[in-house]
């Protein structure tokens, strides 16, 4: 199951995942799975920090931080005068030996789960073929101070894609 359709179920699932990720295990097999999963997220450390890009609405930011080995938290936001406007709440979470990119945006009824299908030292790809748009989210490290994010898929029966180019922010 990639996208729970019931928002209540999705919230409970997220709480359980966070709770389980904080538990310590004496079982060697469980430790092995946790270490494998931790390694998967650690390969994405290049995404951590604050990124910025100029838009027609002003500067937009994306910020990522580690909460624990199995849960990273992010947010996309923009500044308007002295106000911070949250555009998306994001997370990277490990559930059932899979890494999921989970955005929460106002136009969706709840979190949407994109499963990681590809990971290298400078690229990660997440998919959810059941989502309306996008079905694919790609992050690519261009350099230590440059990041390219792309969303793509079918949008109203037309193959579409949107690119987002970020620079590391001092924020």
Q: For residue 33, what pLDDT band results from cuts at 50, 70 and 90? A: very low
Q: What is the pTM of this model?
A: 0.77
R_g of the chain computed on alpha carbons: 16
Q: What is the mean pLDDT of residues 26-34?
A: 38
* Per-domain residue ranges of the chain: 7-168
pLDDT digits (tens, 9 = 90+) for 50-90: 999 999 888 999 999 999 999 999 999 998 888 999 999 99
Share of the chain above pLDDT 70, in %: 76
Domain 7-168 has CATH 2.40.128: yes
- In the beta sheet, which residues pair with residue 75? 63, 89
Pick the range with the lowest mean pLDDT from 55-59, 110-114, 144-148: 55-59
- The residue written with tokens 């904080």 in the block is 22
Residue among 136, 167, 171, 138 nearest 154 (CA): 136
Number of residues written out for the chain: 171
């Amino acid at each position: 199951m990639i996208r729970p359709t019931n928002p209540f179920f999705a919230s409970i699932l997220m709480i359980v995942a966070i709770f389980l990720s904080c538990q310590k295990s004496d079982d060697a097999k469980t430790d092995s799975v946790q270490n494998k999963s931790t390694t998967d997220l650690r390969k994405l450390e290049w995404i951590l920090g604050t990124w910025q890009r100029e838009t027609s609405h002003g500067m937009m930011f994306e910020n990522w931080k580690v909460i624990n080995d199995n849960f990273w938290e992010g947010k996309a936001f923009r500044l308007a005068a002295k106000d911070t406007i949250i555009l998306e709440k994001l997370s990277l979470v490990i559930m059932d030996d899979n890494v999921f990119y989970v955005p929460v945006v106002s136009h969706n009824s709840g979190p949407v789960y994109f499963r990681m299908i590809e990971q290298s030292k400078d690229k990660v790809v997440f998919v959810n073929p059941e989502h309306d748009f996008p079905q694919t989210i790609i992050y690519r490290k261009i350099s230590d101070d440059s990041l390219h994010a792309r969303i793509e898929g079918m949008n109203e029966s037309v193959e579409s894609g949107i690119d987002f180019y970020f620079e590391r922010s001092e924020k």
